[in-house]
Amino acid sequence: MSKSQIANRKSQEVEVLDAEVGPVALPAFYVSGESLPGQAAERALVPVREPTIDEILAAFRSWMRLDVAQGAASEQTLRAYFADVRQHLVWLAGLGLRPAQAGEEELKEFRAYLVEQYQVSTVGRKLASVRRFYEMAQARGVIGQNPAAGLKTPADRTAREEKVKFLTVEAVRRVLAAPNRNEPKGIRDKAVLVLMALHGLRVIEVSRADLADLDLEAGEAGTLKVLGKGNKERGILLTEETREIVKMWLAVRGLMHSGSPALFLTMHWTDAQREPGQRISTRGLRQMVDGYLLAAGVKREGVSCHALRHSFATLSLAAGANLLAISGALGHSSITTTQVYAKIVDKAAANPAKWLVGLLE
């Protein structure tokens, strides 16, 4: 090869290595013997370095946020995707493989690895994240073929109503009684638990709630505007009891002199700096609720924050509430989604004594 040919080849290689593949650039990680996207095999390059898992995830985040969600991605959804993809990347690294080297067989092995550890529903979510990841890799030209395109989720033959975890009336009563109402934190936590267990709010909806969303004079006992999935708004009707509990928290919140618009705030700040409370995060809410589930003795496999929402729907339906009204309170786009609670109640009706658990001392 002549000197001019060598110089020209180096110039082309530098141009390829410097090129970005989108809003976030993927570092060059092609190795000798591999072809660059769209280039002939004889133009293989020796890598400058291989990308770290964090760099790969940064590119994935950009693609998910801008290309998939058009800038409206939920942080909670993104975190779930990243955790799943990170697990996959770490698993591949344990085999000495990079994502570009993974084929259908490796992905089937990863699926088998997940099946050994998780429930089918969790496996399905993780595989969906991995499929999205390889979609990005193909879209950015990192791989020619998508090895995850035909990766199927294992069949889940468990009826949906069998997977819904809810608490009995007595269990809900114990959870709501767990916070110490003589302490500011306990007053806040009681209000949070009430909105989740007696009004069916999701964790993210509690975190998103602002003071401006609350109107204690509207309706019979006040309303709370809720921003649910897909940024859909709905109005929650409070009861006299729940309004009083929320008012107790508002009195405590007013003493914090916080400039945050959030309805629920963190309770930690230093007296020396007088830093105001900040909006409570979904992670903080989950940790808090899990603590009360443990304290009430009702924490078991599958029972988490969402069990309070399921308990609201199941118990209110069993008590005679209208299914359509429950669907509206939950923010379901279709009443078909809410029908699962009717199946639970119908099944439980075969053993009426089940609804009387907790009456014996």
Active site residues: 202, 229, 306, 309, 332, 341
Q: Which two tokens stand for residue 223?
A: 């309303």
Nearest CA-CA partner of 217 in 243, 242, 188? 243
The encoded tokens of residue 30 equal 């092609």
> What's the CA gap between 214 and 223, in Å, rounded?
6
Helix axes 120-139, 75-94, angle to 10 degrees: 80
d(CA 295, CA 279): 25
Q: Tell me if 206 sits within 8 A of 285, measured CB to CB.
A: yes
Q: Please report, as a single letter, which amino acid is at residue 83.
A: A
C-alpha dist (Å) from residue 24 to 57, 64, 251? 10, 11, 46
Side chain identity, residue 290:
D
Q: How many CB atoms lie within 10 A of CB 361?
A: 3
